Structure 1
Amino acid sequence: MQQLAHRLERLGTETAFSVAQAAAAWKAKGHRVFPFHLGDINIPTAPHIVDAMNKAIADGYTGYCPGPGIPQLREALADDLGSARGIDLSPDNVVVMTGGKPVITKFLQTVMNPGQEVLYPNPGFPIYESQIEYLGGTALPYRYVPTDEGFAIDLDQLRASITPNTVAIIYNDLQNPISAESTAAEREAIAQLAQEHDLWVLSDEAYFETRYEGVSSSIASLPGMLERTVILYTFSKKFAMTGSRLGCAVAPVDLAKVFSTLNTNDESCTTHYVQWAGIEALRGTQEPVQQMLKVLRERRDAACEAVNAIPGMNVAVPHSTFYLFPDVTEAMDRMGYTAVGDFAAVALHQTGVSFCTREHFGRRQPGEERQYIRLAYSGIEVDDIREGLGRLNEWISAK
């Protein structure tokens, strides 16, 4: 039998999709399922954005276009992202991509050689770990510690992990899966470490605008950071455009040129007519964005109230993203489970509630004793949130 490339053994995946498959299989047998597993959005893309996409198709924008993106979209992105973050950007800093994920891969291809180390958040988006290792790097996880407000980066552990072979840090402020948001002091500490050790920074800002209180800040706006930071931006979350696959990297010009060349090698260009929809999303009315945030805020409040009413479960109320990461240690003890995966599987069959666990977001680190699950409320209505988590409450309370 012909052999496949050895690097495939290092390739991970986004394991939340395996949870979705299990939920779909259970639903196909006629059971009710309450989908808290995927961070997709069950709110349609706004009509004015869809109309712009359809008009672009009708106008013939269905062929190739520039690898780094059409100039009109790059300009709109530079204006929008720059003003929101208080930084000066030009279109030359912007490279349009097919969503946010390609930014991770192209960043690592550009700044990391095989054998070099990259710091990444754990728990965190699983593609970080997957791509670092697939491309031959060494993935160095840094952890979070629980606080009354949610979670904070363990800066001492992160600092101790840096070696002369460390070249970059992936930083996901407004974090998936744990909804953690850095304080100003924490953000400044990360920036200081990056400058002290001459590290590149990938700032994953997928949820920069998905927030319910306060104002988002970017590490790129801190002194000395713009020239060493790549911002990952996506239209998926803010504009409910997950299936349109549209995003960009904001980078120093030298890196942006490399990203553009990688685009040409990988996919030639991002879908032309989708880019015109992106322009309308940025330049057109923002009322649908505000309406979606209102809906998500109501879901957050309903989910937090329901979770904190369940015996042995607790979660802080996050100010951003659309995820909860409750501690379920006592609930599992009450039910007699030691493996959170077993707890999740039985919960699906007993209550219909489908969710991811801590294990879906990176390898468990030494010393981790608490058990967590992730609940995404972006794809489930308020009434279903209350009913589903109510069933979970009844199941656990019966023990």
Structure 2
Amino acid sequence: MKIARRIDGLGTETAFAVAQAAGEWKARGNRVFPFHLGDIDLPTAPHIVEAMNAAIADGKTGYCPGPGIPELREALADDIGSRRGMTISADEVVVTTGGKPVITKFLQTVMDPGEGVLYPNPGFPIYESQIEYLGGVPLPYRYVPTADGFAIDLDHLRSLITPQTTALIYNDLQNPISAESTDAEREAVAQIAQEHDLWVLSDEAYFEMRYEGASRSIAALPGMAERTVILYTFSKKFAMTGSRLGCAVAPRAVAHVISTLNTNDESCTTHFVQWAGIAALTGTQEPVRRMLEEFRARRDAVCDLVNTIPGMSVEVPQSTFYVFPDVTDTVRRMGLTSVSEFAEQALRSTGVSFCTREHFGRRQPGEDREYIRLAYSGIGLDDITEGLTRLRAWVDSV
């Protein structure tokens, strides 16, 4: 029996492969310091859990509308709009089973086979996977290091556009590199999208996972709301990764298509989880504040320690829960052939587990620096300190 050829274009979220290797190493009795997966080790707030349990007890366990229950769509429209300086109506909101399905359904809605889609590289690997799986032409645009972190190579982005390019995926507050656009860069991306009549997916999973400053949405810029789909998720802000709740905010015609795809794919998002989402949006935000305080302390500890390891350097990001250190000099001084070899040896020598640049899209021509990604959302301060101290001692010993 054959398997459909389109499966050849289907990738995966590669952090889970690293998690499997780390799990196997741990199962052999070894200590593991998990910097690899952007899960959250803090519990979902009690009032959210209570709302979910109450909804189950109240019988909200059956089917519900494909685009989401009206109460949640209204709450999302109000919250997302007010935080971005936009007016959003409930019929522009489609509830989804997490943020990730918005990527696939956006591409299914706006991209025909053979059309090009621009996407960040390094970037969330599901962008590349879904473009190829659905028959599109992947057009990865790159970032360049600056004194303040990373910036989009706008000239490179422009050079990739052809008459067959239909969409641009834009991830401000970026995974894995924690890059955040300046106002000028965000406006330049918006101008490019309008000049070339491109649809835009604005992945805003980390919009409120920030420690300083204020987030801004490209969708709020003039001329952008009518061509932009916002990806929103409850996973990060509300520590609801396993609840699988998110939404797309889209122009009405696109929202209608995504709602139809919902009906075809999963019928609806779990009914009682949606009531938990309402509680998350409208209830106390104190758990969010406390989580951000904890993550800020972890960020500071990670950056301080990384910058003491010979050959490593990283800027302190203002958002997300990742850092993306340059480890080029470390890899070279240790005589290793690749950053992948560095990651494998680090796990076995220190127990520190992390993803590398290779897990976030294919390398682009001319790349000559080596990077790793350290996620600090699932590892406490004591383990951060012990793990990175072990890593430093190992590097020092070579």
| TM-score, structure 2 as length reference | 1.00
Q: Which portions of structure 1, spanning 4 or more consecutive aligned residues, are displaced by more than 6 angstroms? A: none
Aligned AA (2:110): V
SS in 2 for 1:63: coil
Matched, 1:88 2:87: yes
Structure 2: how far apart are the matches of 1:338 and 1:88?
52
Alignment correspondent of 1:272: 271
Q: What's the CA shift string for 1:338-365, capped at 9, x where partnerless?
A: 2111110000000000000000000000
Structure 1: how far apart are the matches of 2:325 and 2:337?
16
Aligned AA (1:366): P
Shift of 1:157: 0.3
> What count of residue pairs does the alignment treat as equivalent?
398
Structure 2: how far apart are the matches of 1:12 and 1:29?
28
Deviates more, 1:66-75 or 1:12-21: 12-21
Aligned AA (1:40): D
Structure 2: how far apart are the matches of 1:383 and 1:146?
30
Alignment correspondent of 1:236: 235
Alignment correspondent of 2:212: 213
Alignment correspondent of 1:60: 59
Structure 2: how far apart are the matches of 1:301 and 1:338?
30
Aligned AA (1:297): R
Q: What's the CA shift string for 1:150-195, capped at 9, x where partnerless?
A: 1000000001111110000000000000000000000000000000
Alignment of 1:1-20 (within 5 A): 2-20=1-19
Alignment of 1:297-308 (within 5 A): 297-308=296-307
Alignment correspondent of 2:38: 39
Q: What's the CA shift string for 1:94-128, capped at 9, x where partnerless?
A: 00000011000000000000000000000000000
Alignment correspondent of 1:136: 135
Alignment of 1:111-150 (within 5 A): 111-150=110-149
Aligned AA (1:277): A
Aligned AA (1:310): I
Alignment correspondent of 2:360: 361
SS in 2 for 1:232: strand
Shift of 1:84: 0.2
Q: What's the CA shift string for 1:49-102, capped at 9, x where partnerless?
A: 000000000000000000000000000000000000000000000000000110
Aligned AA (2:397): A
Alignment of 1:1-399 (within 5 A): 2-399=1-398
Aligned AA (1:84): R
Q: What's the CA shift string for 1:188-234, capped at 9, x where partnerless?
A: 00000000000000000000000000000000000000000000000
SS in 2 for 1:238: coil
Shift of 1:376: 0.2
Structure 1: how far apart are the matches of 2:351 and 2:264?
44
| TM-score, structure 1 as length reference | 0.99
Structure 2: how far apart are the matches of 1:126 and 1:155?
21
Cα RMSD between the aligned structures? 0.4
SS in 1 for 2:201: strand
Structure 2: how far apart are the matches of 1:198 and 1:373?
35
Structure 1: how far apart are the matches of 2:317 and 2:148?
8
Aligned AA (2:93): V
Structure 2: how far apart are the matches of 1:121 and 1:237?
20
Shift of 1:279: 0.1
Structure 2: how far apart are the matches of 1:364 and 1:241?
32
Structure 2: how far apart are the matches of 1:374 and 1:319?
16
SS in 1 for 2:95: strand
Structure 2: how far apart are the matches of 1:119 and 1:4?
28
Shift of 1:398: 1.2
Structure 1: how far apart are the matches of 2:393 and 2:332?
16
Q: Which structure 2 residue ranges, 5 or more long, are not aligned?
A: none
Shift of 1:391: 0.4
SS in 2 for 1:209: coil
SS in 1 for 2:150: strand
SS in 2 for 1:346: helix
Q: What's the CA shift string for 1:247-295, capped at 9, x where partnerless?
A: 0000000100011000000000000000000000000000000000000
Aligned AA (2:202): S
Structure 2: how far apart are the matches of 1:231 and 1:61?
28
Structure 2: how far apart are the matches of 1:388 and 1:336?
22
Identity %: 77
